[in-house]
Structure 1
Amino acid sequence: MLLPVASSEGEPWHVVLACRDAKRAQAAVERLNGLGRSPGRRAEAMSLDLASLASVRAFATALIAKVSASSIPVLHGLVCNAGVQTGTKRTFTVDGFESSFGVNHLGHFLLVTKLLPILASPARVTVVASGTHDPAQKAGPPPPAWNEPAALFRGELGAGAAKDGPFALGQRLYTTSELANVYFTYALARRVATGVTANAFDPGLMPGTGLLRNAAPPLRFVAKHVLPHVKPLLRRFLTPNVHTVEESGAALARLMTDPLLGSTSGKYFEGQKEIRSSTGSYDTDRAEELWKVSEVLTETE
């Protein structure tokens, strides 16, 4: 997860990496600091585990303290980038929420609502979602099976998942949580202050990133050792929305920094393109219900 703090082309920037793995975070910090090439450009890492609401609160408190003490610049951007797929069985966070919803949605929800008061206009929030939330995209995992939000946080999907085996269940928990991310983005866009924007971003299929590290061993092998080498075939026969990490990273950076997008809010981007999300994702009643239940579960007002 990246928290871009004050950046535009040619200007100083400060990036906070909010990470669960301290070793990987430090490696990323060293790489970013090596790319800065000028004074006033700096990256640092802070500890955050989205599977723990206590960790989210502690991170937000620490970041707010840094901003208040002027040890880092004011906050102008927030990217919610974490995502997990749980494999072939339901798993739960330390707070007792089904992991896909606990990490992909609820952890981000608490983080954003805690940090909204210190977002300084102009500011942007980007929630990384997935095209798998859209049933119209036939290729890929099974589509979402929405249910009452309280049930979803317990890992109970809607009727569409009634006949799912373990493999399909894990994938559908993921796609349903990604639909929640789109609902969250649109509800957030209706609430942010003037000068703050909120958009959803689909990075596309990026083979080799480790998203399927909890999948069954054969699928893990294919995802890690086969798919990264057959991107042209995937684009031709599965979906054109297949990218390298660098390509999707550039598209995400554009969404956060391009001056032409400074007033764009409540939109959905597939890579560089603004498109419509799924038909069901514009259900305002569902989005508002999800927001209210998320407030209760995180004790956020």
Structure 2
Amino acid sequence: MTAGHPADRPAPHRVPGAPAAGAGRPGPVSRTRVREFSGETVRDRRDDLATEEPLEIRMRAGGERRTVAVTMRTPGHDFELAAGFLHGEGAVAPGAITSISYCTDDDVPPEARYNTVTVRLRGERLPAPASLDRHFVTSSACGVCGTASLEALRDRCPPLPVSDGPHVPPEVLYGLPDTLRRAQGVFGKTGGLHAAGLFTPDGGLVALREDVGRHNAVDKLTGWALLDGRLPLTGNVLMVSGRTSYEIMQKALAAGIPMVCAVSAPSSLAVDLAREFGMTLVGFLRGERFNVYSRPDRVG
């Protein structure tokens, strides 16, 4: 979607006639009972858990339909998750999506309706990138991506220009983890969700998404930007609550994000990707310290 064509944007959160969570639609928080042991005290109490359920992502164009992924996710912002996932895999470009809806196909039972999303594309044929030639399942932990190597990623994502991206003072970076944590509404109830936040160069929070999977949180965030006509995100900073993996860096690169920060460590391949594509990668951002693994010229 482009900013000049608002009518082309599917609504990112609601489908006409779709009920809210609690009316057959799963919510992000589930309740259970636990027995708590604390010293010599034992008590039974209610506890809140981060919901984890499968989401099947389907694509449709003309008369063609294909299931492209099943991912374990925390329900909420499912349309953004589907859009962000497909964009990160190179399957859709801005403006290619005409609508996103929960599935009402005959092969989907009513109880699974809100765990199946159909993304409708322009044109009469579905794209057939190598990464989507097979069905695959991703867990909330692994973040399987179709692009399995830097060589394949070079074919569709050019390096970011040397002059591209913001310059962020260290004191702004110091404040990002606390801002991210304070904005995590579901984490406050469950303690079990990752977050991805999009920030301005002066530390303002633009948008935040939560999920049981790190990569899903990033997909939801980039899917929001895609559906709202905001890509590429060349003037923003991505902050994630866990470690930085190759998958997260790939998704950020596809969205044009020049700076990625994390409270924990990056993987070796994440650092390789950042250096090859001109991205600034910050790790171990805790308190008033951090490491910069690539493009430190954007910090300061």
TM-score by length of 2: 0.26
Which structure dedicates a bigger proportion of its chain to helix?
1
What TM-score, normalized by structure 1, do the two folds share?
A: 0.26
For the pair shown, which has the larger CA radius of gyration, 1 or 2? 2
Which structure features the higher share of strand residues?
Answer: 2
